[in-house]
Structures are given as C-alpha cells and as structure tokens.
Structure 1
Amino acid sequence: MKRVMVLVASAFLLPAPLPASEPVVPAEEPLVTADVPRPVISEIVSEDQNTERGFAGVVQGENVVTLAFQTSGRLSTLNVDVGDVVARGDVLATLDGITLEEDLAASRAALSAAAAEARLGRQQFDRTTRLVELGVATTAALEQARAYRDATAASLRSAEAQLSQAEDAAAYGTLLAPRDGIILSTQAEPGTLVSPGTAILELVDVLGREAVIDVPTEYVTLLPRRAIFDVRHHSASVTPVKAVLRLVEPVADANLDTRRLRLTLQDPPDDFRIGSLVTATYATETAPVISLPAGAIGGTEDAPGVWRVGPGRAVEFVPVELGPEVGRRVVITSGVGDGDEIVVRGASSLEEGQIVGEHRE
C-alpha cells in the first residue's frame, strides 16, 4: 500500500512536456554596404588665422648706448632726466671736482718730490764716480750710488704716470653727450661713488626706432627673413606704418614659449615715441598660409598627400607639398586651396572614390 502511494506521488512531480516551438535563429547583423557613407571628421581649408593675428608691443630705440665715466669719483651732478632730448656735446653729468683737483695737486706734489730725489741720485752717482777715479771711494760705494740713481729715476717715471692719470681724470670728470638723442634711463644718483665703466645713463638715437613684440615660437617658422609688418599706434588717429623684421632674438622665453622680434619702423611719425604702445600684424603679400593637422597627412614620406572630399561626397587622394610644422599642424605649400574639404580623422582606411558622411569638425 505504501509503495503504490509513492508511485502515485512521483507521477504528479514529473514536469509537463514542453510545447512544440520554432527553432531559434540568431538575429542577422546589418551588413555594411558601399551605399552607407563612411563617418569621418573633415576640415574646410582656409587661410591660417595665425598670420592675421595682432601682437602687442612697444616702441624702443634701435641704437641704444650706455654712457659711463672713464675714471672713478663721486657723482656730483646729473643734469638730465628720463625722456630729455639732448644734443651732441651737452653736459650730462659731472664728478666731484674738488676731489679730482685734490688728486691732481697730490700727483703734482709727488712728481716734484720724485724729481728732487732723482736729481740727488744723479748727483751722488757722479760724485762717487769721481771719488773712485781718485782712489778715495770704493767700488762698492759706486754700485750703491748707481742703484740709488736708478731707483729714484724709476720713481720719477712712476710719478709722471700718476700725474698723467690725474690730469686725465680731471678731464674725464665731465660726461658729454656723444650724439643727439633721448635719455632712455638713468642708473645712478648724485652722491654715488662710481668706478670707471659704471653705467650712469642710457642714450637712444632719436631717429632709429623699432617695434618690439613677442610671438609664439612656432609662429616664427611662418615668417620670411625680412617679413613686413603693419604697425598700428594705440591711438586710432595715428596713421599705421610699415616695419621690417630686423632681428629674431636667439633666446626663447621658456615659460611663455615665445620669441622676441625687433621690427624696424619705416618713416614713423613723431607720434611713435619711445615707449608708445603698438600692435603689429604680419602683412604678407604671398599666397595664403594653409595648414592641416598632422594626422590628415597620408601617403609616404616621398609622396605625401591628403584625402579631399569631392562631388557626391566621394574622396580622392591629392598629392601635396609640405612646409614647416607649426605646433601640431603642418603647413601645406601646394596641392590644396582655400575652401577644399579635407579629411583630418579617419583618413587611414579610405579608398579612392569612397563615399563619406557629411562634414563634421
């Protein structure tokens, strides 16, 4: 009886048979066909805006000279101030004349004493020579007299040289303007004790003026040797002038990654004074400077090229000539023109005539 009940319970626990169903077929992946445009990122070629940037700068003197005394002394007077216009021969500064005169008097007195000693030395030598000839003095005494004569003669020559230096110092106690110019800066105050060569002031030529600007380091590679710039005064009423690139300073500013350019102003009006604020813009007369990201360049090193989007969004491989690298971009000297659409990302797997998607930057 127990065995029958277990069999009946087991029958109730059996799972029900599954209903018949259709075989499961995996979903088909969409096929990529030639009719589906390939997504890429492209760029419309235009003139590089870097060449149109304006760089702030300041007008400085082209020929700056540092003036100093040729002798030491205490600065007595400084007759000019920053910005003063001076003419050739004007007295700019003087040293303490009393001190110079005292040095000159002391040198003259030392010369007189040395001359007296030299005369005495010659007289003693002559007298000792005669005594030796008479057999009264010894040879040792003659040698001693000769040494004394030579020593006093050397002292005389030293005193003469010191007097000459004192006379030059007295003459150099006045600092004169070597040419017409403008006082750019003063670097000493009256009462300062100065040495020969100590900078007293800076004088700048009134005619030679230049604009000094700082530009990004990569920007320099776009400029020819004597690039022309348009320089505008900070006052809108002043007529702009042309300037020629004179010098690219060899030392770069590592913190700002810039280079300093010096531009010679051509016939600037009087409004372009030393210290005036200006803005300089590269005034290129050549073809527009075109650059593309380095990733857009394909082909080989000997035959580089880019993918240009043509009619119907079909791409074609166009050979190009490369110029210098400007940061992460490369200058294109020929092969593409203003308004061309160039693939800049996704170009590595394109084929001639392939259809690409709409322009995306």
Structure 2
Amino acid sequence: MGADEGSREMKPYASHAERGPVVGVLIAFLLLAVMTMSASLAPAHEGHDHGAPPVAPLTAVAPRVEASSESFDLVGIVRGEAMIIFLDRFGSNEPVTRATIDVTADAATVRADPRPDGSFLVQAPWLAKAGPLDLVFAIDTGEIGDLLIGTLDLPGERAIGEAVGESSMAVLARSPVLWVIGFALLVVGLVLGRSLAPRRNIAPQAPLAVPLASAPESDAESDVGSKRRVGAVIMLAVLAIATSARVVLAHGDEDHGAADKPLATITSPAAAVDSPRRLADGSLFVPKPTQRLLTVRTQPARVQEVSRTASITGRVIADPTAGGRVQAAQGGRIEPSEDGLPVIGQRVVRGQVLATVTPVITTLERGGVREQLAQIDSSVAIAEQRVARLSQLEGSVPQREIDEARRELDGLRQRRRALAPTLAEREVVRASASGVISVANVVTGQLIDGGEVLFEIVDPAKLWVEAIAYDPAAVADIRAAVASTADGETLPLDLIGRSLTLRQQAVPVQFRITRASPTLKVGTPVSVILQEARTETGIVLPSASVIGTANGEDVVFEHVSPERFIARPVRLRPFDGERIVVLAGIGEGARIVTEGTELLSQIR
C-alpha cells in the first residue's frame, strides 16, 4: 500500500516534469512569433527605404509618363483605364490646347481626344497591362511638329494584395538573424521548461515511518520554487521581446533601397493622391493640373550685359512751374464767392475767383478813419469855395493860382476816395494757376492774417520727383532713371538737374515724371533706380520672379522637370522697377518661374 501511495503521489510530479519541456517550447514559439511580427512591421516603419513599398503611402502619385523636348513638356497621368495628357510649351510653360497627339505603344497607335479643360484623353487596351511600357508621342500643332518618347510603368492589379498578404515566413526567409535568434530561444525554452519540473525528493523505497504530514511541505516548497521559476521565465520573455523591439526600431534607420526616390508610384491608380507637396530634399512636386490652376509661367535664363544700377530714396513733389499757392495780401474774414468756397479735388483755372477777404477793423481804428474822412470832407468844402471864388475873378488873378486851387481840390477828393473803402472794401482771392485744389485751409467766416496760404493748386499731369543721393558718384553719370512706389507702380523719369549745395550731407536731384499716374499723390515716397553708364553681366528677370524667405534670402524657383521645382537662392539688384538683374545663383538656360512664384512658395 505504501508503494502504491508513493507511486500515486509521484504521478503529479511526473506530470509536471512532462509538461515542462512542452511549456518551454510554447514559450520559445511565442517569442519567435512576436519577433516575426515585429520584423514584419519593420518595413512599414518610416525613416528608411526597403525599395518599392507594398502599400502606397499618402504621398503616392498615380502612374505617369514624362517627356520633354526643346519645344514641349508632356505629362501623361493614368486614371483607371485611361490616360490624361497635359501638353505645355517648354520655355514658357503655357498650355497647348490645340494639337494633334498620336500615341504609339505595342505597335498600336491611338489618337488622343481633346478635352474642354485643355488636356487630352487616351483610351487604349495596352493601359490594362502590367510592367514598363515604351510610348511614342507624335505631336503636331500646325506650326510645330515634334516626337517625344517616354516610359510608363504600369503595376499589376494584384500588386497591393500580394504585398499586404506577405506571410511572416517570407520575412523570416529574408532575415537569417531571426532564424538564429529563434533557434536560440527554442533551446532556452527547452532548458527553462525542464527546470519547471519539481525535483523528486521522495525515494521509491522510503521507510513507511516517514510522516505523511511532511509531504504537503515538500509540495508547497515545490510550488513556490515553480512559481519563482515561472516568474524568471516571464522576465526573460519580456527582456527578449524588448530586445526584439529594440532591434526592429534600430532597423528603421537603415536604408535598403534607392536613396533618391522622392515619390512612390502608387500601385492602384484609383488610390492616387496627386496633390502638390514639398519633398524631403526641399523641392516641390506640383502636378500639371495644379500648375494650370496656379497659372505657373516660366522664362529661360539668358546672360547679358546690362547697366549697373543704384537705388536712392525720394518723394513726389508738385511742378513749381505748373502749380502754385494762393495767399491773401491782408488779414480779414473769409467770405465765399458766388460759387462757394472750392474744395480739394476741384479743378480750377487761372484767375478764377476762389474767395473774398473782408477787412476786419476795430472800433478805435474805425473811429480814426471816420475822423480822417471828416477832416478831408471839411478841406474839400473849403477847397471848392476857393476854386469857385477864384473862378469868378478869372482875368484879374493869375491863372496859376486858379489852377493850384483846382489841383488841391482834386487831391482832397482822391484822398477821400482812397480812405472811404477801408470801412467796407473786400479783397478778391483768385487762382494763381490752373490745376486741382490740393490743399484748402479756409472755411467761411475764418479770420486770417496777411500772407497766410489759403489754397494750394497742383497740376496732376505735371509732377516731379525730388531724391537725395548720399553717394555723389551714383548721380555723376545717369543714363536713365525710374521711380518705383511701394505698391509696385513704375514711373519713368527725366533728369532735371543736380544741386550744387549739399542738404544734410546729400546731393538733391530732381526728375520730371514723363508718364504720370492718375493715382499718384504729392508726397508719395518712391525708390529711384538709376542706371549708370557702367555695365555688368547678369540675367534679367521680372520682379515677380523673386520672393523673400524668412531667413532674409532672395530665391527664385527653377523648373527642373515637368512637375518639379527647386528654390534657388540668388544675389540680385533692381534694374528698372519692373525687372531685376540676377548676378549669381542660377545659370544659363535655367527655366525660372515668372508667374505664380508667391503661390508656389506657400506649398508645404
């Protein structure tokens, strides 16, 4: 009976011992599965390249073909089972909407159908095939004929499914390191699994006198030891998984594909995201449809000899020979004319009555004037009586005495006529020149002093620019000059003269505006660009080609391929207000964006 009980008591321990290796194997396979799943996720981890990705990312583009010549830029984009062709001029990037395009592939020629938006549609059976496809485009616009050749890479329909359904065993096949780690984990699992089995401390022929109460203690100690070993195994498993994850994360810094693949061609045309974006190398990908929406235009760079330029500041002034100021000769009260007081913006002609000035006399002054008038009236009466008496004695008195009496009477009368209007006479204020009222400093009833400026008249067709040059050499030999306002308006100038007297250590220079703008105002600050007789080598571009960056650089965008643009820092000078001269940064023949630069700079 003791042997039977001993054998029955040993069976549980034997069962644990048998399950130990099995548990170890399961743990090893579990670790191996975790590492395999981590490795299978590694190719999807961003930051490295494993060749063509199995699943197209958000930055993928539809399959397309590009071809260029000296005359045309052509882009064909596959949408489903059709291809849309965009044809532009190579130099200017202007869309070509009227042309005949014949597309040849696999010895079959298909003519592209024009669309209302200016593109062309091609539907052909060879668009349903997979793999690279050589295309020949025969273009005829009536004026220019050209032949373009390009390669279109069409992926298979099941490319995405095969990539997504790739098994973990395929990942293991590509990673021998995982096989080595998996085998090591299998051995460790077998060893640890065997260690889970409790040791047999009771011999088969043990004396029956041993108390049965000691068996539970051995079982308890065995369970405690088993739990500790299980905990150790779990800790090792966690460490193994962490090490695997670390290996996988470190794997993300490697590069297993081509280093220069800014865009991934999507394997499903229906899932394409053809949106403009800034690529990792800083260049811009701008699809042809977007270029047409933004009206992007280009110009080939041409190196040429141009005049050296200098820029000075100035402001618009009125032509002193065409305008003028209106002032009152004496103080008094402003009274409107029959047509009322003129207002700013009103056109007037020379000699037109603008206002009247009524003299203002105090009570004391008025009393003095009246006293003088009374004395003059008394003298006039005495002089009249004397002239009348001498006239009766004519012939008996000398004629000279009669004439003197008459002249004295005329003088007294003139003095009265001159003094009497001071009480009520008004001064008429007239326009000194023809033009437009620019300044009006009066209102009805206003009291003014003598010599005060009442109105300023400006002829808008005759304006000048006065500038100051701190470098006398810049204005020593001027071939041409233009003025540029803050809003980009350009004003051609003619040199009037330079001052021989310095003003604040600068030379004043005056110019006449040869083509005035109706919106130009006196006092507008301008930048005067002077073209000197000396020349330099540069590339002349429109001012709209240049845009300033946040770091203070001036950049232009070069059109390097039909749908790709690169920002080029440049060194430049203003040329004539509407154009600039690029001195360094771009080379001969580069296609530079002249319209749409501001919109391209906002692409992120």
> TM-score by structure 2 length?
0.30
- Rg bigger for which structure? 2
> TM-score by structure 1 length?
0.47
Higher relative contact order, structure no. (Cα contacts within 8 Å, ≥ 6 residues apart)? 1
